Structure 1
């Protein structure tokens, strides 16, 4: 038995974070035991645990998801902790030692804010030299630089993170970072240098090209260096007017436009600094995870374009920068320009709008390894100009930059296109989870749009450990919201976008914290965000009551079903679903989430109040939009999906609406038309309402509009639009067209929940208990997923064998349980680990067409022949398009129905989603029942062979 993933506030060994009351979590693994019987957590001031300040004792109630030791934290102190676990089989294990270290806490700042006595556009390096005459035991630096900064001690970079102090609402709060610089300082002379860049604090940023000096107009720095000596004394170096400044070799930096680095610009002139009154009230120990280089990629090709350009192909749309090695002649200029795609084989940047996205380097003649400092790019292609001699791709490295989150989930299927789709969504998350969940990482935007984050948050939490990431974003959201009377902004931080209050976008306040709680089981996220959650619903309620809408939300601006394909106006991006319906649906949904959160937090009166509010909104929505016989007044995909997902449908009419959705899709040729609101729930609703086959059809469609269309076009991330690139390779437009926009990657949540079947359970969150309910389809031979959850590693795998048998393999981690739902199964025919299900001593039951099995920790394998044939054979009930794809089937078809041979391809494209039996009622294709039955006899032994390419 072993213990891993020791985390504090779901961060491994956090240094200088605002921890509040620390919550310790861990995972026990590598054991045949089923349950934890007790645990003991100890916290000490030393690694040897001779100075223990907290000991839980052997305690049966310790929760590995979040345990709060009772400690009065002191500033600038490292705490060590370990856990011992006892299991039900007598095993015992003690973890390795983990730690967390506090920042300044309530300790007053002695350091002053300083700014260089230079022109405000001149990038500075702020410096201080100091001597140390005593042995150093430890050294810390507490730093905030505006807009962005990097620190060096004695010529070496402090820490491994970039773009500090990160991105947040600087007018509300400023994060400072803590660096362990013990190994960088030395006895004798030392120097500290802090380079500053513009960032979004004072550089160009914001919507429609952005503005400058949004939060401030001067480079600024506050820094305290605290050095502990072996003799017990302390040396403190504070920023004040004794520091000096010099001009930086960075001549320009900007988030959108890039950076100019002049290595020859070595002006040794020393300039004074002066104090600046920014105050210390906004300073707060960090919440942001470090932004680090998580991966490195090498170019896969050097392209010579028809226009004569030299372009590196990284093989992957990524975010970060390219680092290169050069010994270019002195004074020569190397320019790197970044782009997402080529057009007619040539370098292309028009979809970046006004963002220059370039890096200029002027050489000093020395061999150097070069990178930007205060910018980042979203790109696959890099155009290189000014390179001296033959370009060698080995001299270039793509540095993939994102917040330091662990990847926790992975999915693999028998279809390589689906596997690439999964990776595209994962890469979209990597590229856009750079401190803020941005909409896109490349053009003149890169903003924390709340709607995008909300719809993707469920997928995000499966893919990566996003607890700390979303905790910081939620804190920032609440800060912005606090000055808006509960309204949630369109973007966080707001920067230049001052509007807000749209449904689906504002739901970032309720949906994200609930998803985080569901995935990690730590209610601290709900405690932190509860007033924000409630404030958002109260904002909606006031809008409702002021308009006398009687529990509908019919006022204000809303984005609607953004970028849906069913709108009447082709120039409008808001889709065809009535915005009042969407907003009222979210009114109901968010009210219920507030009620659920209140119940978790023990706020029972508030829970009852908001549950009653949610029920009232549901009743009003039903009265307005659903007829007494169960017909929804809005007959489009998103409206039907939202009504079903958000539980707006009376139980007696649920089957009616599910059938109406199937019919709606049939009219839409079994292709999606949904936008940002409908897409996240579309396949989930289908699979959970008797139309799993249609969910797979939508997943596996390869023509526009579909998820796999982009994959077949070579996409390596998720596109903003369903047709961001047209079939001829031309971009569909440049006004709003990102090739790395993760919202539609929310299909991956369906892949985890319904294809692989891994579902968290509200009553036991954090994957302490799960519902394992895979829903196979014949068009995949197998699917398998791994999820390294807060409770431990889950595995779920199914396979459909050549003889039509289903096998399921599950792994359930220690101290967790699962309810397994086996589809289309008869209890007496199911084998578990090779034995009859009735003979293995687990709780089983037949529930309609499913067999339910209650399982503890362990590895489990089920096999049975399903009661419904999962292998599909050709018949007249299949879509015409599938029949004519197979030459042998088509020949049989043409022999019986000669008209089919004359159908042009355009006609097949228009009617091919319908079955031959459905088409037989059409006047242009009369076919008798006898002919159809005879065809079925001829086709019934021909198995459908799925093409996975």
Structure 2
């Protein structure tokens, strides 16, 4: 038995974070035991545990998802902790030692805010020289530099993070970082250089693309605390003794890039002065560090028709190119970044006003070069300024994103779906740089709340997002403070006067609840509860001021953004009535607040907001549903929200589902939804017994569909369903990002329904799950693994050549699962090679309760899943092709005289076996089976 993944506040060995009351979590692996009987957690000030400050003793109360010891933390102190677990098998194991280290907590700052005596547009380097004459025991650097900063100690970069101190609501709070620099210092002379860049603090940023949103001067605050072996300490602090020179960085900005002149040498000391920024906004970091997480090599050097030299990284990525320089002094090398080629030539008009370039002037020496205070979203890089033939091995794409562990993976028998899954994952990597941004390339890169909200479920399967979202929702709460509970559509606001909108502002309730259910740590609810409640209270005030209808009918709404069913071509809001969307979210958020209050044992608040939610649902039903259950609105998104958010009147769901299917039939089974409807399409369909339609829509390849972009060679998810047209031309330059993750939210359905892993709200954190895969004959197999907070779950299903269903499940230690086997008969199910003896028949399914372990099920389903249903094309599509029509006429003659093809033309061959009026016998299907491969070849 092995204990792994020891995390404090869901971060591995954090240094200098704002920890509050620390929460410990861990995972047990490599055991055949089923349950944790007891555990013990010890916390000490030394790694030998001679100075223990907390010892739980052997306890049944310790939860591996989140345990908060009762300890008072001291400033600038490293604590060590370990856990011992007793299992039901009698096994006992003690973990390796983990640690966490506090920041300054409430200590006052000895350093002062300083700013260089330079024009505010000149990038500075702040310098401090000092001597060390004794043996160092430990050294820490506490730093906040505005806008961005990088530290060099003795000519070496300090730490492995970039773009510090990241992006937050700088007018509300300022993060400082802590660095362990014990090994960076040396006996004798030492020199610290801190480079400052404009960043989002004072560079061009925000919807208005203005400069100096949060401040107009570079600034630095720091303290270096050096502890010696003899017990004495030395503090190097920011004050007026620091020196300043002009930087080789002549300009930097998030949108425009960076200019770096290596020939520039400045030995003048311009000095610094104090600046009154105060200390009340300072807070130890919440942001995870942004790191180089992967590196890519160019796959090709392209010579374009215009004669340009372009590097193709083979993947739309976020970060920069690092490259070796061998050029004469004064050579100016220019790298320009773009997402797509047009007519074979470099293109970047969709970046709007962002220049997205890096200019480097060589000093004549060979070296490795990179930008410091910017990043780019790109696949292609145009290189100019180098006379000789360039070597692609000299260039490396550095992929940056917040330091999150990848936790989920899905692989299927369909290569297009596999590529789509990777596209979604790459979209998350590219947009999760401290803030969940809308896009990483053009002159925007903002924390649009709607994108983050709809994608949060997918994101949290793909990666461990607890700490990432914990920081983001903290920013949300801070932005609400002087807005009476209103949640802006963009967080941080970044100087823009933005309003709120349903679906976007509901991020305040949805993300904390999503994270609680995913990770089982109610700490995020405790932190965010007042924010969650304040947002619902804001809507309720709007409601009360408009006659207390319990509908949200006032104010600006973004609607179903970028939906395809709008009547007004000038509007981006789609065709679904905005008040319906707003009211649906009003209910959804009020209900979440009620559930959170219940978790936090706030009974009076639970009753109040449950009653409010019920009133809203009642008002929606009265306004939008007839007595027979007909929904007054006919848009896909309206049906989807009604089903997904449980707004349909009791006993009327069948009617709404029937109308939803009819709606999709009218739309030729293609989606028309935007940012609001798209995340829930497949979940609403599978939830309603329309699994076949969910798969059909997922697998569509023509515009508008998820796979259209994949067939066009996309390596990330696009902002628009047709960002690139079939001829390869970009569909427009306004609002056309090729790395926009919101539509990738369907991957949550792939985890929950295709692979079948669902956490249970009453037992959060995957301690107890419902494993209910929904196989479909359009796939031969689906494999999923998810490293949950309790350990690795695996689900695999396969349809073998004889039509049997095979399932593989791995349930981690100390977890349980309710397994639902579809289309099964209890007496026909085999598990691990033996007849199933425990479980129950529930309708068409067999249900089994399982503990930790590995299980293989196999049975012949009650409906056919065999290969001749693997044709995705509808009969209507097939008869458009003369050759396939001829094959069908030969094989299905009984259908044509009766007009059956016309009647059920939206059905594919693989769906027809479930239709009682389909006039084809099993013998005829066998005959048809011989023809299907030919049909597939002809049609494809």
Superposition map of 1:410-559 within 5 A: 410-559=409-558
- Report how far residue 152 of structure 1 moved: 1.1
Q: Which residue of 1 aligns with 2:850?
A: 855
- Report how far residue 339 of structure 1 moved: 0.2
* 1:874 and 1:883 in contact (8 A); partners too: no
* 1:490 and 1:497 in contact (8 A); partners too: no
* 1:874 and 1:942 in contact (8 A); partners too: no
**Using the alignment, how far apart are the partners of 1:899 and 1:755 within structure 2?**
35
**Using the alignment, how far apart are the partners of 1:416 and 1:895 within structure 2?**
32
- Report how far residue 836 of structure 1 moved: 1.1
- Report how far residue 881 of structure 1 moved: 4.0
Mark the CA change 1:875 to 1:808 in structure 2 (over 3 Å): closer, same or farther: closer
* 1:805 and 1:863 in contact (8 A); partners too: yes
User: SS at 2:162's partner residue?
Assistant: coil
**Using the alignment, how far apart are the partners of 1:900 and 1:362 within structure 2?**
73
**Using the alignment, how far apart are the partners of 1:749 and 1:406 within structure 2?**
18
* 1:873 and 1:941 in contact (8 A); partners too: no
User: SS at 1:744's partner residue?
Assistant: helix
* 2:529 and 2:596 in contact (8 A); partners too: yes
* 2:551 and 2:616 in contact (8 A); partners too: yes
Q: 1:893 aligns with which of 876, 888, 891?
A: 888
Q: 2:862 aligns with which of 864, 867, 873?
A: 867
**Using the alignment, how far apart are the partners of 2:205 and 2:341 within structure 1?**
26
Q: Which residue of 2 aligns with 1:374?
A: 373
- Report how far residue 741 of structure 1 moved: 0.2
* 2:869 and 2:909 in contact (8 A); partners too: no
Superposition map of 1:21-40 within 5 A: 21-40=21-40
* 1:874 and 1:940 in contact (8 A); partners too: no
Q: Which residue of 1 aligns with 2:841?
A: 846
Q: Which residue of 2 aligns with 1:942?
A: 928
Structure 2 residue ranges without an equivalent (≥5): none
**Using the alignment, how far apart are the partners of 2:174 and 2:121 within structure 1?**
22
**Using the alignment, how far apart are the partners of 2:855 and 2:893 within structure 1?**
52
Mark the CA change 1:569 to 1:855 in structure 2 (over 3 Å): closer, same or farther: same
**Using the alignment, how far apart are the partners of 2:338 and 2:493 within structure 1?**
26
Superposition map of 1:817-828 within 5 A: 817-828=816-827
- Report how far residue 14 of structure 1 moved: 0.2
Are 2:906 and 1:913 equivalent residues in the alignment?
yes
- Report how far residue 890 of structure 1 moved: 2.9
Tell me how many residue pairs correspond in the alignment: 928
**Using the alignment, how far apart are the partners of 1:168 and 1:818 within structure 2?**
40
Superposition map of 1:339-418 within 5 A: 339-418=338-417
**Using the alignment, how far apart are the partners of 2:860 and 2:500 within structure 1?**
52
Superposition map of 1:281-296 within 5 A: 281-296=280-295
Q: Which residue of 1 aligns with 2:669?
A: 670
Give every structure 1 segment of 4 or more consecutive aligned residues whose post-TM-superposition deviation is greater than 2 Å: 871-879, 881-901, 908-919, 932-949
- Report how far residue 50 of structure 1 moved: 1.2
Superposition map of 1:475-874 within 5 A: 475-838=474-837, 842=838, 844-871=839-866, 873=868
Q: Which residue of 2 aligns with 1:49?
A: 49
**Using the alignment, how far apart are the partners of 1:99 and 1:375 within structure 2?**
32
**Using the alignment, how far apart are the partners of 1:819 and 1:887 within structure 2?**
49
Q: Which residue of 2 aligns with 1:69?
A: 69
Q: Deviations over 1:112-143 (max 9, x none)?
A: 00000011100000011111111111000000
* 1:875 and 1:936 in contact (8 A); partners too: no
- Report how far residue 571 of structure 1 moved: 2.4
**Using the alignment, how far apart are the partners of 1:732 and 1:279 within structure 2?**
49
Mark the CA change 1:934 to 1:533 in structure 2 (over 3 Å): closer, same or farther: closer
Mark the CA change 1:804 to 1:217 in structure 2 (over 3 Å): closer, same or farther: same
Mark the CA change 1:875 to 1:413 in structure 2 (over 3 Å): closer, same or farther: closer
User: SS at 2:596's partner residue?
Assistant: helix
- Report how far residue 245 of structure 1 moved: 0.3
**Using the alignment, how far apart are the partners of 1:250 and 1:876 within structure 2?**
58
Mark the CA change 1:790 to 1:764 in structure 2 (over 3 Å): closer, same or farther: same
Are 2:139 and 1:139 equivalent residues in the alignment?
yes
Q: Which residue of 2 aligns with 1:199?
A: 199
Are 2:114 and 1:114 equivalent residues in the alignment?
yes
**Using the alignment, how far apart are the partners of 1:561 and 1:458 within structure 2?**
19
**Using the alignment, how far apart are the partners of 1:132 and 1:102 within structure 2?**
25
Mark the CA change 1:909 to 1:418 in structure 2 (over 3 Å): closer, same or farther: farther
User: SS at 2:5's partner residue?
Assistant: strand
Q: Which residue of 2 aligns with 1:924?
A: none
* 1:876 and 1:935 in contact (8 A); partners too: no
**Using the alignment, how far apart are the partners of 2:434 and 2:895 within structure 1?**
57
Q: Which residue of 2 aligns with 1:173?
A: 173
- Report how far residue 500 of structure 1 moved: 2.2
**Using the alignment, how far apart are the partners of 2:663 and 2:450 within structure 1?**
26
* 1:343 and 1:730 in contact (8 A); partners too: yes
Compute the TM-score of the two structures, normalised by the length of structure 1: 0.95
* 2:428 and 2:741 in contact (8 A); partners too: yes
**Using the alignment, how far apart are the partners of 2:90 and 2:73 within structure 1?**
35
Q: Deviations over 1:380-424 (max 9, x none)?
A: 000000014110000000000000000000000000000000000
Mark the CA change 1:801 to 1:457 in structure 2 (over 3 Å): closer, same or farther: same
**Using the alignment, how far apart are the partners of 2:909 and 2:99 within structure 1?**
67
Mark the CA change 1:397 to 1:915 in structure 2 (over 3 Å): closer, same or farther: closer
Superposition map of 1:97-246 within 5 A: 97-208=97-208, 210-246=209-245
Mark the CA change 1:619 to 1:236 in structure 2 (over 3 Å): closer, same or farther: same
Mark the CA change 1:547 to 1:792 in structure 2 (over 3 Å): closer, same or farther: same
**Using the alignment, how far apart are the partners of 2:143 and 2:557 within structure 1?**
40
**Using the alignment, how far apart are the partners of 1:371 and 1:242 within structure 2?**
30
Q: Deviations over 1:201-232 (max 9, x none)?
A: 00000115x10000000000000000000110
Taking only aligned residues, the RMSD between alpha carbons, in angstroms, comes to 2.3
Q: Deviations over 1:37-91 (max 9, x none)?
A: 0111111111111111111101111000011111110000000011111100011
* 1:352 and 1:443 in contact (8 A); partners too: yes
**Using the alignment, how far apart are the partners of 2:890 and 2:70 within structure 1?**
81
Q: Which residue of 2 aligns with 1:905?
A: none
Mark the CA change 1:877 to 1:457 in structure 2 (over 3 Å): closer, same or farther: closer
* 2:141 and 2:178 in contact (8 A); partners too: yes
User: SS at 2:491's partner residue?
Assistant: coil
User: SS at 1:76's partner residue?
Assistant: coil
Q: Which residue of 2 aligns with 1:263?
A: 262
**Using the alignment, how far apart are the partners of 1:697 and 1:318 within structure 2?**
30
- Report how far residue 887 of structure 1 moved: 8.2
- Report how far residue 549 of structure 1 moved: 4.6
- Report how far residue 293 of structure 1 moved: 0.2
**Using the alignment, how far apart are the partners of 2:319 and 2:202 within structure 1?**
21
* 2:696 and 2:872 in contact (8 A); partners too: no
Mark the CA change 1:795 to 1:876 in structure 2 (over 3 Å): closer, same or farther: closer
**Using the alignment, how far apart are the partners of 2:392 and 2:909 within structure 1?**
55
User: SS at 2:382's partner residue?
Assistant: strand
Q: Which residue of 2 aligns with 1:92?
A: 92
Mark the CA change 1:917 to 1:205 in structure 2 (over 3 Å): closer, same or farther: closer
- Report how far residue 272 of structure 1 moved: 0.8
Q: Deviations over 1:233-281 (max 9, x none)?
A: 0000010001110000000000000000000111111111000000011
